[in-house]
Structure 1
């Protein structure tokens, strides 16, 4: 470790410089803190103020927050999940659905416990960051920095509103923050703070625990509070009840009353005769107790049990970060695909047309280039549409000409059909129309016809038909290949594929979603004698 890392004066100067930089960064910004637990609300407000936010507004539930947002412009929202009247997820939905300026404001969600389905819904709705209680100043600063660094992700809100924060109890708000640190300790070993005014007792526990845990120790309650309120608090506390000046019960009460330390599990060290004190300590928030004289096996077992809960909370926090990072990565890929890939494709099309005009004997080559570029463009379009379909994005439906839609869908299949000596025979009237959306319809027919072309025997044909049936338009796509029996039951499921080199297994899945988004349906029949017939039913315009 270098001198600057060990010199207290230099370390203090470094922290002051860091705080000064943060103050400048947020000096002109305002924030809104929403939490029904007054102590936590005040603590987060204080942390944001220390980061340099010029104004921090406070609300105790979502409805009060919305009223404040009508009157004040804010640059950041930090909200608890589980609150009365309107919870944090409902507030997030209202913010993202709003047409006002705060629609794109970074939104950090606070939570004491997590249900993964709720997390996915919040991510899909546009949460910027998750912050698992408890947290300290540095953790909050890191999350705030991330929230401002990343673009706000606004998708269509989920249909169901999660009602709870998946808490294991329904007790008072005090228990809401009884969790473990969101940021893992630097040491690979979990850390324990031993608090006892008798040095001999500390020695006994140290010898018992030193192989498995990183240990800290102190002789007074006041010193214990200082250690727990530092940037490197322990994962668990072994706390003697009987101490001078400040006994273990008072230490426990103070730790439980501070949002920054309330999460730390406390195991009391007590004499057999201190039953009333143990009961009071447990009522204050301690998780367990061990008796003097220490029984090594019992002590190790009880500590190990609570350390498993500590690790569970750390794992949960890491999983939340992974979920958010994956969502951001997916968005970044969407951006790359939509802009960085489609632009060169446009250039390929333009260059191909120029070649055709300059060289009359390059028709075969230019056809190959155009067909390949069309296939790539269709793959990109499939990916983009699939993302929208899975997010439940709305589409506006209108009358479409079937022949024009299918002709466009067929363009990218020309080269493969030539290679396989396949014929596509279409028996669809030129005036046949259906109710749909242009991109969805092209995507759906491309994927279904491509599936049929890929499955058809070499030298055979794929037949397309379309007709009015009652109040629907029914399309049929037939080829002589049979769907393998082992995938017929999940033919339209995502990633279902069999025997196709490079097959992604999302074509028929995407087609089914596209049909449903156009208020239609798809089914099939398949056997070795008759081949496979895909039937699409869409509404008449």
Structure 2
């Protein structure tokens, strides 16, 4: 597909460097018309006041997150077909499914390459091309004629994904007049098939595409309806197919026999069209719900396969080269050929690359740890260096809060603690998340202390003002537990615990209510040189 160079793309992200990176990648693809928003609320105002052809939005943002923006757009007929790419590090099925249900065009998992971004844009445009009417995609959307937003509970809870085909009804009767009457009754709402003999009915029911419901006459030559029902129950393709007997046999024993053969209803002739239509509609409502549920499960499986492809890409195509770049940057800083300003710039590039690695770790290594497929290849890790990088980045990131971030060790000056045994990139992820949590929890001008010490193992204690609320203390390290942070995912402490234990370490926290502080302590084994 050839991308339209005149297309206007709105990039929504609260992290300015990420907005610039995305804009650069878009321009590399020849898409120069890019506008920016720092959150969903700002994006909404831009969309309503100028031309926007596609939205690339981060998921977690303050004011209004990406999912809330998506849902609002999909409640307006004016924007129901606007391609919307969600950029996210989310891997949890429930949240991914929620985005799919809300009508996302594509999901772009961080980190991603320009080629992957190009493919995502093409998929989103293809998504738009496949849609025909708002009702075919979002049947519960309500919007005014002017296209303004009318948010309702139904609209926000709308269902996306695959729309099930019309249910199939098989009508079985040996009399052509009866077949025509019943077919005419249901053909507007359902797909109708007919059979004049029991053998033909069984051929259809035993096929790979059996009907969703059978309206079955009893009194037929060669093979009556009861025998058809009995044989249906003996075949795996039709044993669960619901049957409604439609017959002139109104004796109680005939009704009982029909119900014994597994019929869901028994209607006597002459039929009352409205009553029969209502019975069929009520029953097929359950059939449609079941088919939609299966479609949702199929879609989740498809997305899981996509996630596995992304995991493979990040592990092999991104993580390896980035690790090499970080190693080169680290070596250049020790080269002695650069001045202080150049070394500071190299350090900034290294920290940025480490942030990308951190996202990779959270989306790939945690997945492997959760599925018992992670294998640790330990090496010597200089925790002083890792923590120094984390602290330097935190000071720059939270400069606006005027925090005092203190990093100290219990060794004399000009001495270094022994190395830890683990994985340097995983260690960076642990402490980057914990220090980030501490900075977010601390009030403005708060003091955060990171203490590195040596006991039987190497210990890092991170203390910040602000006691963990009582209601979440027993779930502090659980997945998706967050408090007081609108943009929080609840993955920081959970991932820190997983990554610590994967390196044979231990993590714990303590609260001092009198001092109103929280401390998280990580212990990692020492490196034993062979």
- For normalisation by structure 1, the TM-score amounts to 0.54
Aligned to 1:532: 518
CA distance, structure 2, for counterparts of residue 235 and residue 370 of structure 1: 60
Displacement of 1:376 in angstroms is 2.2
State the SS of the aligned residue for 1:290. Answer: strand
Alpha-carbon spacing, 1:274–1:199, altered in 2? closer, same or farther (3 Å): farther
Structure 1 CA distance for aligned equivalents of residues 275 and 494 of structure 2:
55
Residue in 2 aligned with 1:200? Answer: 177
CA contact (8 A) 2:395 2:405 kept: yes
Q: How many residues align?
A: 355
Is the Cα contact below 8 Å between 1:375 and 1:412 reproduced in 2? Answer: no
State the match for 1:326 in structure 2: 303
Q: Distance in 1 between matches of 2:322 and 2:500?
A: 27
**DSSP 3-state at the match of 1:362:** helix
Q: What is the CA–CA distance in structure 2 between the aligned matches of 1:499 and 1:344, rounded to whole Å?
A: 37
* 2:202 corresponding residue in structure 1: 225
User: Per-residue CA shift, 1:160-192, capped at 9, x if unaligned?
Assistant: xxxxxxxxxxxxxxxxxxxxxxxx999953221
1:494 equivalent to 2:494? Answer: no
The worse-fitting range, judged by mean Cα deviation, of 343-352 and 305-314 is: 343-352
The aligned residue for residue 447 of structure 1 is: 433
Looking at structure 2, the residues matched to 187 and 536 of structure 1 have their Cα atoms a distance apart, in angstroms, of 51
For residue 477 of structure 1, report the CA deviation from its aligned partner: 1.5
Equivalent residue, structure 2, for 1:424: 406
C-alpha deviation, 1:250, in angstroms = 2.2
Offset of 1:487 from its aligned partner? 6.7
For residues 152-171 of structure 1, the aligned pairs below 5 Å read none
1:311 maps to: 288
1:257 positional shift: 2.6
1:408 matched to 2:386? The reply is yes
Does residue 480 in structure 1 map to residue 465 in structure 2? yes
Aligned with 2:344 (options 343, 350, 364) = 364
Match of 2:53 in 1: none
- The residue aligned with 2:508 is 522
> What is the CA RMSD across the aligned residues, in angstroms?
4.2
What is the 5 A alignment of 1:12-51?
A: none
Instruction: Give 5+ residue unaligned stretches, structure 2.
Output: 1-92, 94-160
Q: Is the contact made by 1:495 and 1:505 (CA closer than 8 Å) also made in structure 2?
A: yes
CA offset digits 1:438-484 (Å, max 9, x no partner): 7665543443234334545458442315465xx99865321235657
How much has 1:286 moved relative to structure 2? 3.1
Aligned partner (choices 445, 448, 451) of residue 464 of structure 1: 451
Q: CA deviation at 1:237?
A: 0.9
Structure 1 match to 2:212: 235
Deviation at 1:244, TM superposition (A): 0.8
Q: 1:530 to 1:463 in 2, by over 3 A?
A: farther
Say if 1:346 and 1:431 are closer, same or farther in 2 by CA, change over 3 A.
Answer: closer
| CA contact 2:168–2:190 (8 Å) conserved in 1 | yes
Checking the alignment, whether the CA contact within 8 Å between 1:410 and 1:446 is kept in structure 2 is: no
CA contact (8 A) 1:483 1:526 kept: no
User: 2:450, 2:462 within 8 Å by CA — same for their partners in 1?
Assistant: yes
* Contact 1:397-1:435 within 8 A present in 2 as well: no
Describe the shift of the 1:307–1:199 C-alpha distance in structure 2 as closer, same or farther (beyond 3 A).
Answer: same
- Secondary structure of 1:261's match? coil
1:328: Cα distance to partner? 1.0
Alignment check: 8 A CA contact 1:472 1:538 kept = yes
- For the pair 1:513 / 2:491, whether they are aligned, the reply is no
Deviations 1:47-92 (A, max 9, x none): xxxxxxxxxxxxxxxxxxxxxxxxxxxxxxxxxxxxxxxxxxxxxx
- 2:324 is the counterpart of 1:342: no
* Contact 1:481–1:528, Cα closer than 8 Å, also in 2: no
Match of 1:260 in 2: 237
Match of 1:279 in 2: 256
Cα deviation, residue 394, structure 1:
6.2
The equivalent residue for 1:249 is: 226
CA change 1:317–1:209 in 2 (3 A) is: same
Q: Does 1:387 align with 2:367?
A: yes
Conserved? CA contact 1:268–1:288, under 8 Å: yes
| 1:127-181 C-alpha deviation (Å, 9 max, x unpaired) | xxxxxxxxxxxxxxxxxxxxxxxxxxxxxxxxxxxxxxxxxxxxxxxxxxxxxxx
Change in Cα spacing, 1:514 to 1:216, as seen in structure 2 (3 Å) is same
Are the aligned partners of 1:191 and 1:234 in contact in 2 as well (CA < 8 Å)? yes
Q: How far apart are the structure 2 equivalents of 1:529 and 1:187?
A: 59
* CA distance 1:186–1:312, change in 2 (3 Å): closer
Structure 1 residue 307 displacement after superposition:
1.2
- Alpha-carbon separation, structure 2, partners of 1:204 and 1:465: 84
Deviations 1:78-130 (Å, cap 9, x if unpaired)?
Answer: xxxxxxxxxxxxxxxxxxxxxxxxxxxxxxxxxxxxxxxxxx9xxxxxxxxxx
